[in-house]
Copies of this chain bind each other. A is one copy, B any other.
């Protein structure tokens, strides 16, 4: 069977923080692009963007934009995906959606290739890319779950502002300058652009990411809880999350407590396991002060894991520190990786 040489790829949200990383990732991976269509809101349409040395003009995304498209990568907000992904599917495209629009839809696979690549086989045109903070955690935990079982996850996150888009990075920078120069400033974006109040992020920590739900958890926390269960196919898994925004531009960190099912597991066992786990780089050498940090992960596709230690009281309890570039493995790279898996599995027509 002859393999198709190049695919018609559309990037929706091409001018955004994640969209830009998607284009760079497509370049870096030498993704087999036959034709590239860059789409955005009406507001950003007309922007010129360079990809693989050629100049593209970004067009306004409309249903008919997807005629002839093989793979559409969506990262332009949930409402855009809800409206246009079904239109793209109608026209024969497979959509990889980086918003939360379809993640919990039971007809939509939620995929991290290192964890559940085969869920792609059951797709109905749309594949959801999980939330950034979920992706890096399941990459680190799935090898442990497979070998030793997993019955409890409690995570506290340390999340970068770029998760709220380029405007939030800008806000962090502007506030930082204002504080250093002893000038006034007015928070306008964080913690959540669409929420009622906005707080200082520079030199602060905000324990709110996304809107609060009725149960007292934020939507970000519920995403981590529900998506982890779905990706691991473990609806009964006990997962809890506390999500916190930090004055860091790029790179999410997570302090994760887990309980395994098996007795007698050691920290050395987990290190040995994660050393060769797909997508994971083990950085765990306390004696030489080697552990992952957000400043070191920027621009890298891997999930970095360190500080692995056994709980001092709980025979089946372990602590880990997990760091990754939230724009890459947390978004752009995982989306492109899904597209690569679709091609590998022969699922792109």
Q: Which of A46-103 contact B (CB under 8 A)?
A: none
Which residue in B191, B196, B207, B267 is a CB contact (below 8 Å) of A253? Answer: B207
B205 touching A294 by the CB < 8 A rule?
Answer: yes
Compute how far the CA of A312 lies from the CA of B225 in the bound complex, rounded to whole angstroms.
9
A205 touching B158 by the CB < 8 A rule?
Answer: yes
Which residue in B217, B225, B267 is a CB contact (below 8 Å) of A216? Answer: B267
Q: Which residues of B contact A167 (CB under 8 A)?
A: none
Smallest CB separation, A196 vs chain B (Å): 6
A203 touching B249 by the CB < 8 A rule?
Answer: yes
B158 touching A314 by the CB < 8 A rule?
Answer: no
Closest to A153 in B: B313
18 new A-B contacts, CB < 8 A, other than A205-B253, A216-B307, A257-B257, are A158-B205, A173-B180, A176-B176, A200-B295, A203-B249, A205-B248, A208-B289, A215-B309, A238-B314, A239-B312, A240-B312, A240-B313, A240-B319, A242-B255, A242-B321, A246-B246, A247-B247, A247-B248
- Copies per complex? 2
A244 touching B255 by the CB < 8 A rule?
Answer: yes
Provide the A96-130 mask, 1 if CB < 8 A to any CB of B, else 0. Answer: 00000000000000000000000000000000000
Compute how far the CA of A308 lies from the CA of B205 in the bound complex, rounded to whole angstroms.
17
Number of interface residues of A (CB under 8 A): 59
Q: Which residues of B contact A7 (CB under 8 A)?
A: none
A13 within 8 A of B: no
Q: Which residues of B contact A30 (CB under 8 A)?
A: none
Smallest CB separation, A276 vs chain B (Å): 20
For the residues of A in contact with B, the DSSP-based class is mixed
Compute how far the CA of A305 lies from the CA of B291 in the bound complex, rounded to whole angstroms.
30
Q: Which residues of B contact A310 (CB under 8 A)?
A: 216
Provide the A227-253 mask, 1 if CB < 8 A to any CB of B, else 0. Answer: 000000000001110101011110001
Q: Which residues of B contact A239 (CB under 8 A)?
A: 312-313
A interface list, Cβ under 8 A from B: 152, 154, 156, 158, 173, 176-177, 180, 191, 195-197, 199-200, 203-208, 212, 215-217, 225, 238-240, 242, 244, 246-249, 253, 255, 257, 267, 286-289, 291-295, 306-314, 317, 319, 321
